Structure formats: C-alpha cells, structure tokens
Amino acid sequence: MSPPSISPRSNGLAPAKNVRRRDRSSGSLPPPVSGDVAPCPAPRAKPAGESRLFRVLRAVVGLAMVVGIGSGVVWGARRYVRTSPRFAVSEIVTSGGKRRGPEDLAGIAGIAKGENVFSLDLDRARARLASDPWIESAEVGRQLPGTISIRVTEREAAGVVAVAEGAATESAPATPAGTYLVTRDGVIIKRIEAGDPLDFHVVTGIVLKTLLEDREGATRTIRQALDLAYDYDRSPLAQRSPMQEVHVEPNGDLTLTVGKSGIVLRMGAGPYRRKLDQAVRVVGELDRRGAKPEVIMLDDEAPGSRRRPMR
C-alpha cells in the first residue's frame, strides 16, 4: 500500500525559499549558505607612516591656503582704506586754542586736508603740538571717514621774569640774560618775542645759574614773588602807588618797587600779608606828616618799621 501524498498546503509548511523570505522580513536571517554570498575582499592595510605623513601634508597645505587667502584679504583691505578718497581728511576740528588758531594748530601738528586719515601718525602729531611753548597738553583723534580732531590746553602767561647773568653788586649791576614769560605757578613758558603780551608783573633778580642748576627752586621763588605781587594789587596801596617790579634778593628775600617815584618796600621773608598791612599803616602816617620816603624797611620782626627818608 503506497504512503499517502502530503500537500504543502495541508501540512502548513511552505517551500524552503518561502521560509527564507519570511525570515528576512522578520529581520532574522539564517546564516548564509556557502555559495549564496561572495566573500568581501579584506582591505589592504596602508603603512602607518605613509598615512600619518599624508595627513600632516594635507593640514600644512590647508593652513597655507588659509593664511594666503587671509593675507591677501588683509592686504587688499589695507590698500583700499589707505588709497580710497573716501578716507581723505576733509575737516580738521580744533578746540582750546587761544594763542594758536585752528590753522596754526593744524600746521604745528603737520596735518593737512586731503591726506589719508589712516596714514597720519597721531602720536607724532600730538608730540609736535606738545613741543610748542604755548601748548601744555594736546589730544589728536580721527573720526571716520574724514575728520581729525585736535584738542589743546594752552599755558596762560601771568608774569615776566628778567633773568640776569649773575647777581647784582654795589659796583656792578646785573647783566641781563633774557626776558621770559611765566605762568602763575612760576613755570617759564618762552623767551619774549615781538607780539607777545607784556602787561604782567615783572620779577627781577633771578640768576641764570640758579635757573639752570635748580629749576624747581627757581620756579618756587618766581611763584612766591608773583603771589606777593597779586597780594599787593589787592591792598589799598596799589591804587595810589602801582607796583613796578618784584625783586629777588641774593638771599631769597623779596623787595617791591612801587609808585611813580619808585618807593622801595623791603619785605624780607614771608609771610607777607601782615607786612603789607603794616606798609599801609606806615605810608598813611608818612602822608599825614608830608614825608616822601625812599625806602620802607619791613624786613624785621620788631614793631613798626625803619624808614629811610628820600634824599
């Protein structure tokens, strides 16, 4: 008796190829059968030294390209801003100048319209301005696209100092070495030239050697002399006897010459306000007596004063 035939559909089994297809769709593939898939050739290993060298060369070439491109861009931009008419100086704005006008300040700084704002050396322009005797400090700046600003602080003259070659003696007067404008603090500004202001208090007796060897001490003495002069201007004596000069004695004492007749007030050492008050009382007393003094001695500490009558 022959065995019964079994239909694929009747036993619930599918052909082998169908089973493999279902396995693939489920994501679980059976191991490949020899001959189904060709084996992949193994990659040929490169020498480690050759691969490292290639990477280094590639990095170097890339860096060189970046640097070259960047340098070219910078050079082109720099050339543009230094040659473009857009950045030419079209306006020079100045402030703070009294003795020096706008054109003077621009000329001293060495700046002219039409120059490129980026080609100007602002530090050099500032130094040139500061070298001018009237200019105490200076600031120079640029405002794009074409404006240069100059701001200065000028020195203010407050006195005239007549410098002598040496101290005067009874037998030989002092030989003048030069006359200078000074600030209120006693700082020498410049030698007096034609056109300079001269309506200031005059200080004499400063010796050139002292000025050269002890500039700080000479400056302090000049400032003290000017302080005395301004104090005298505020005293009652100034209206009737305007001051002519303040003289610095060899020992540092101060002497005033006042009035048309040249009355000498020997002030000695400071402080001087009390001595000025004393001078007012002495001169008032002499007026009541009708005396005309030549010298009034205020350089002692004793009450009153010594007076030398006019000969």
Q: Tell me if 259 is assigned to some domain.
A: yes
Please tell me the predicted confidence (pLDDT) of residue 162.
95
CATH code for position 149: 3.10.20.310
Low-confidence residues in the chain, pLDDT < 70: 1-83, 167-176, 300-311
What is the distance between the alpha carbons of residues 29 and 19, in angstroms, rounded to a whole number?
10
Please tell me the predicted confidence (pLDDT) of residue 13.
45
Range of the domain at 125: 91-154
Please tell me the predicted confidence (pLDDT) of residue 306.
46
Q: Tell me if 65 is assigned to some domain.
A: no
Which of 135, 154, 173 lies at the terminal end of a domain, its last residue? 154
Q: Is 274 exposed, middle or buried (0-12, 13-18, 19+ CB in 10 A)?
A: exposed
Please tell me the predicted confidence (pLDDT) of residue 56.
62
Render the burial of 14-39: b for 16+ CB within 10 Å, e for the rest: eeeeeeeeeeeeeeeeeeeeeeeeee
Please tell me the predicted confidence (pLDDT) of residue 203.
97
Prediction pTM value: 0.67
Q: Are residues 276 and 143 in the same domain?
A: no
Q: Are residues 140 and 247 in the same domain?
A: no
Q: Are residues 161 and 297 in the same domain?
A: yes
What is the distance between the alpha carbons of residues 128 and 100, in angstroms, rounded to a whole number?
14
What is the distance between the alpha carbons of residues 91 and 147, in angstroms, rounded to a whole number?
5
What is the distance between the alpha carbons of residues 296 and 237, in angstroms, rounded to a whole number?
13
Please tell me the predicted confidence (pLDDT) of residue 254.
96
Q: Are residues 305 and 236 in the same domain?
A: yes
Q: Are residues 212 and 132 in the same domain?
A: no
Please tell me the predicted confidence (pLDDT) of residue 22.
47
Q: Tell me if 63 is assigned to some domain.
A: no
Inter-axis angle of helices 122-130 and 102-109, to 10 degrees? 120
What is the distance between the alpha carbons of residues 113 and 146, in angstroms, rounded to a whole number?
9
Please tell me the predicted confidence (pLDDT) of residue 40.
55
What is the distance between the alpha carbons of residues 46 and 55, in angstroms, rounded to a whole number?
13
Q: Are residues 110 and 223 in the same domain?
A: no
What is the distance between the alpha carbons of residues 203 and 184, in angstroms, rounded to a whole number?
12
Please tell me the predicted confidence (pLDDT) of residue 116.
92
What is the distance between the alpha carbons of residues 89 and 161, in angstroms, rounded to a whole number?
42
Which of 154, 182, 202 lies at the terminal end of a domain, its last residue? 154
Q: How many domains does the chain have?
A: 2
Please tell me the predicted confidence (pLDDT) of residue 87.
77
The CA radius of gyration of the chain, in Å to the nearest whole number, is 49
Please tell me the predicted confidence (pLDDT) of residue 311.
34
Q: Tell me if 57 is assigned to some domain.
A: no
Q: Are residues 176 and 207 in the same domain?
A: yes
Q: Tell me if 136 is assigned to some domain.
A: yes
Q: Tell me if 305 is assigned to some domain.
A: yes
